[in-house]
């Protein structure tokens, strides 16, 4: 997978995590390549607090770039 695709996937997953935590949503809108088990392991590796700070500071949305 090209690096650009990896970056886009990471940004997309980070955006989903942020959206879920912010809105207390109970679903994951994730690309087909990721199973729930892999997603769970991936999320454990993320530092979610830092992630949330980045999103709050920059106030950005990745959905427009991905569609």
Based on C-alpha coordinates, what's the Rg of the chain?
12
Range(s) of the domain holding residue 47: 3-66
Please state the rounded mean pLDDT for residues 4-19.
72
Q: What is the pLDDT of residue 48?
A: 58
Whether residue 54 contacts residue 67, with contact meaning beta carbons closer than 8 Å, is answered with no
Whether residue 46 contacts residue 17, with contact meaning beta carbons closer than 8 Å, is answered with yes
Residue 13 pLDDT grade (very low, low, confident, very high; cuts 50, 70, 90): confident
What total number of domains does the chain contain? 1
* Comparison of pLDDT for 8 and 50, the residue scoring more: 8
């Amino acid at each position: 997978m090209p690096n650009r695709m990896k970056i886009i996937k990471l940004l997309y997953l980070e955006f989903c995590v942020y959206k879920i935590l912010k809105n207390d949503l109970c679903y994951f809108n994730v690309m087909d390549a990721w199973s729930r088990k892999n997603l769970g392991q991936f999320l454990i590796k993320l530092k979610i607090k830092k992630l949330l700070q980045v999103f709050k500071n920059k106030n950005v949305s990745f959905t427009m770039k991905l569609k």
